[in-house]
């Protein structure tokens, strides 16, 4: 079994965080494919997949370039090893058991209602690390895209290409991919992978995110609410 990581990054001049991430992944035997200056995240992932030509049981990691993985290499590999069980689709640090009609996985009201699962660490403006703890590490419907791992055969079924109804090239891929896996009757799960995300992101202020979200809602309205 081989393990690959596909990472989109803006420039070949990698930041210290990205260098550290690549070093960590390489040290545990992951073959890292850096995707620079891509037209879209969907196209980038497709190209990388075709380049490595993975076997069905090979593991593929899709992750941001601004994360830090803090667990030991042995624990990291042990977590990935659960993907040998064919019932699993995607695994990652955070997600939700319930997606409402607004299709926002991290919806604050649902978080208060105990619908979310997993945990992600962040860095505050003063440089102090803190944890967004969403809930127990359990099965979810969809996962956040800062780190996703799955088998190649799952990606073959889900399809990495951008759906025609999406206008934006970089947004909502995580909900879309993991939703598709859920629809194929795979179990998506949050796992205790201890990731620090160095940026909170500005998705809600980006038009392309809203456009893809609304397109996703319009296309899949019959399935809402999504729950497990």
What pLDDT was estimated at residue 201? Answer: 57
Mind listing the pLDDT tens digit for each residue in 76-121? 999 999 999 999 999 999 999 999 999 999 999 999 999 999 999 9
What's the mean pLDDT in 56-69? 97
pLDDT band, very low/low/confident/very high, at 200 (cuts 50, 70, 90):
low
Cβ neighbours for 209, distance < 8 A, ≥ 6 positions apart: 168, 171, 172, 203
Show the DSSP H helices in 28-119 as ranges: 41-52, 73-80, 108-112
For the domain spanning 3-227, the CATH number is 3.90.550.10
pLDDT band, very low/low/confident/very high, at 199 (cuts 50, 70, 90):
confident
Q: Is 0.85 topped by the overall pTM? A: yes
Quote the DSSP letter at residue 59.
E
| Contact yes or no for 147/192 (Cβ under 8 A) | no
> How many angstroms separate the CA atoms of 24 and 8, rounded?
17
What pLDDT was estimated at residue 124? Answer: 85
């Amino acid at each position: 079994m081989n393990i690959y990581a596909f990472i989109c990054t803006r420039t070949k001049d990698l930041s210290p965080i990205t260098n550290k991430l690549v070093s960590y992944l390489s040290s545990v035997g992951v073959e890292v494919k850096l995707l620079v200056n891509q037209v879209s995240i969907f196209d980038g992932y497709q190209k990388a997949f075709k380049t490595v030509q993975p076997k069905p049981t090979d593991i593929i990691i899709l992750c941001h370039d601004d994360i830090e993985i803090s667990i030991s290499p042995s624990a990291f590999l042990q977590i990935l090893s659960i993907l040998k069980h064919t019932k699993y689709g995607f695994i990652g640090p955070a997600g939700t058991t319930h997606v409402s009609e607004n299709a926002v996985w991290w919806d604050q009201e649902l978080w208060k209602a105990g619908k979310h699962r997993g945990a992600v660490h962040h860095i505050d403006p003063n440089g102090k690390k803190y944890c967004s703890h969403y809930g127990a590490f359990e099965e979810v419907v969809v996962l956040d895209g800062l780190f996703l791992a799955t088998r190649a055969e799952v990606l073959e079924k889900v399809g990495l290409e951008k759906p025609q109804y999406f206008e934006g090239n970089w947004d909502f891929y995580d909900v879309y991919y993991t939703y598709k896996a859920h629809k194929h009757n795979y179990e998506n799960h949050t796992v205790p992978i201890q990731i620090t995300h160095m940026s909170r992101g500005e998705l809600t202020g980006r038009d392309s995110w809203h456009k893809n979200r609304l397109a996703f809602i319009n296309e899949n309205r019959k399935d809402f609410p999504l729950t497990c």
